[in-house]
Amino acid sequence: MAEENKEVANEEVANAPEVAAEEPKKAAPVKEEEFDWDNIQPKGFGDGYSKSKREELEALYGDSLNTIEEKEVVQGTVVSVSSRDVIINIGFKSDGLVSASEFRDMPDLKAGDTVEVFIEEQEDNNGQLVLSRKKAKIVSAWENIQKSFDQDLVIDGMVKRRTKGGLIVDIFGVEAFLPGSQIDVKPIRDFDIFVDKKMEVKVVKINYTNDNVVVSHKVLIEKDLEKQKAQILENLEKGQVLEGVIKNMTNFGVFIDLGGVDGLLHITDISWGRVNHPEEVLNLDEKVNVVVLDFDDDKKRISLGMKQLSEHPWDSLDASVEIGSKVKGKIVNVADYGAFLEIQPGVEGLIHVSEMSWSQHLRNPQDFINIGDELEAVVLTIDRDDRKMSLGIKQLTEDPWTKQDVLTKYAVGTDHKGVVRNLTNFGLFIELEEGIDGLVHVSDLSWTKKIKHPSEFVNVNEELDVRVLELDVDNRRLALGHKQLEENPWDTFETVFEKGTTHKCTVNTIIDKGAILELPYGLEGFVSTRNLKKEDGSTPVVGDSLDFMVIDFSKDERRIALSHVATYNKEASEKPARPAAKKGGKGGGSKVIDKLNSESEKSTLGDLAALTALKEQMEGGEKPAKKAAPKKEEGDSKEESAE
């Protein structure tokens, strides 16, 4: 450096102008454009350096600094560590200052250690280099996540906590979501067992917009299972016994994991006994031994069995169980046709509904038996080869039809009271006692009323008085009647509704060929269309009450034909009407007729008694004398004329 200064000094001396002894002359002014600015050295730092030397020095100084860019992650060296800050040198013209709180995960940090930092600003308002280790970790983590995703790498994660639908796993300092369906190949019911444990995962999805990462542990297991699955399918054979884990349970069976291959254990193949739901005998995640029953050509559907690993219970059934012997068991199922009694696990017998009661009238088995009932039954049939057995309950009691007093107790003509058990289109069944049922035909319910269905007359579970019409002990049949409890009123009706007599009737129903009329005493009559017209030519409507003349009466067929035309057509052949006698008139039967005419339209026992008395009076010659029609009042004449 001294030599350089000496050269500069010599150079200045050589170039200096000569000094005259006399007073110096005033120098001529120099033009601005002729001034050599390169030969003028600045004062201060660098004074005395030539341009070339200065460029050389700048090059040496520049090589000692790094060229950095903001928003990048770079390596830095720790210069010093204090309780508040960490000074880091990244090779820039100044060192950076980072808060000590960002190094909590590095308690042993010391000067000279190398760390990664993120350059936020090269120079802030204070001229300070701004660095961040926290952001460096985040940037580095996302770079590692992207690399793991691109290269399909297996990474280690730490399960931090449970969340809705899965787990939160820490990978490279970033929280990733592990769905519950991606934890294992089998359903996971308790996620808490994985918290605070390490787990290998793979990145399956990255969403930078929401800073969301999805990982999976299941894909790692599936790869391992593929090899195991291929080996199992290659050696799979019918009858092969395998060990598996119960993966899922349904109401129709159980899915079992055989080591990467799923098989179905149907509910009927779980046990020789009846199983209503697999959960009664099996548990999830339980290890079980099963036998391969069948599989399809692609070996995608495998049928498994468990009960086949044990002896069939029928093979161990006691030899004392034979026809006529009594057995005890529990009802395991009830159907429309009967119930199944399990006398030991895997051995069941059918109790048909017809074998539950001596009653001929069959009812729903649930009226007798419920699931879980413990009963005693009699063996009716047994087939050990086909493993079938039929049982009976009614055989434990005496057959009521075989009792000695049944012929006298239910002799023809005897009267009884029973309970209506069932209604059909043709009649109703009445239970007289347990096991003794009888049929009342619909035609034997009423003498007068035409009943289309028994429900019009009586309801189920109601009591009804009946009379025995027929008794067949051999065929267990009993014909009953209800109307037979009363005398047949049609013998009396024959005298009341003689041909030619006129009666007030009401039009009840209009039909194609005429109309149905409602007569006194609850009877019905028929009038044809041509005999229905009024005198003015109009046709009556439902509800009209008019006079009708009897033109035909059949006691055997219980049919009465009438005509309204005959009441006003004098040329028509008609028998004089038998008017109802007024109160106080002569004749023994007049009061009875007055009473019958004043009664309700429905037939009662009182009506029938009155009709019977009337018949007896007429047969005894006490027929009421015909009287002239009483003089009608003026108002009555007007009404008849109006009609």
User: Residue 429 has which token pair?
Assistant: 């069944």
pLDDT of residue 40: 53
How would residue 381 be classed by pLDDT, with cut points 50, 70 and 90?
very high
Backbone angles phi, psi at 458, to 5 degrees: -155, 160
Q: Which CATH superfamily, name and number, covers 152-221?
A: Nucleic acid-binding proteins (2.40.50.140)
Domain pair 152-221 / 400-485, same fold: yes
236-309 is classed in which CATH architecture? Beta Barrel (2.40)
Domain spanning 41-133, CATH architecture: Beta Barrel (2.40)
Most confident of 522-531, 573-582, 594-603: 522-531
Average pLDDT for 305-322:
85
- The reported pLDDT for the residue numbered 563 is 92
Assign 613 a pLDDT band (cuts: 50, 70, 90).
low
What is 313-396's CATH number?
Answer: 2.40.50.140
Residue whose structure tokens are 């005429």: 514
Q: What is the mean pLDDT of residues 192-219?
A: 87
Number of helices (H) and strands (E) in the chain: give both, helices first. Answer: 10, 30
Give the architecture (CATH level 2) of 400-485: Beta Barrel (2.40)
Q: Would you list the domain boundaries of the chain?
A: 41-133, 152-221, 236-309, 313-396, 400-485, 490-628
Predicted confidence at residue 582, as pLDDT, reads 36
pLDDT given at position 575: 44
Residues in Cβ contact with 27 at an 8 Å cutoff, skipping those fewer than 6 apart: none
pTM: 0.42
Q: What is the pLDDT of residues 394-416, one digit of tens each?
A: 888 888 877 767 888 888 889 99
What is residue 71's predicted lDDT score, i.e. its pLDDT? 64
Structure token digits, residue 127: 């001229």
Q: ∠ CA(630), CA(633), CA(635), 5° rounding?
A: 140
For 502, phi then psi, to 5°, come to -110, 140
Is it true that domain 490-628 has CATH number 2.40.50.140?
A: yes
Q: Which pLDDT score, from 0 to 100, does residue 47 have? A: 57
Whether residue 390 has pLDDT greater than 90: yes
Query: In the numeric block, which tokens belong to residue 494?
Result: 């024959």
Question: Which of these ranges, 261-265, 277-281, 574-578, has the smallest mean pLDDT?
Answer: 574-578
Mean pLDDT, range 582-609, rounded to an integer: 40
Residue 183: what pLDDT? Answer: 86
- Any idea which of 121-125, 394-398, 549-553 has the lowest mean pLDDT? 121-125
Distance CA 131, CA 73 (A): 9
Half-sphere exposure of 335 (CA within 13 A, CB side): 9
Reported confidence tier of residue 597, pLDDT bands at 50, 70, 90: very low
In sequence order, the 6+-apart residues with CB closer than 8 A to the CB of 565 are 530, 531, 532, 533, 572
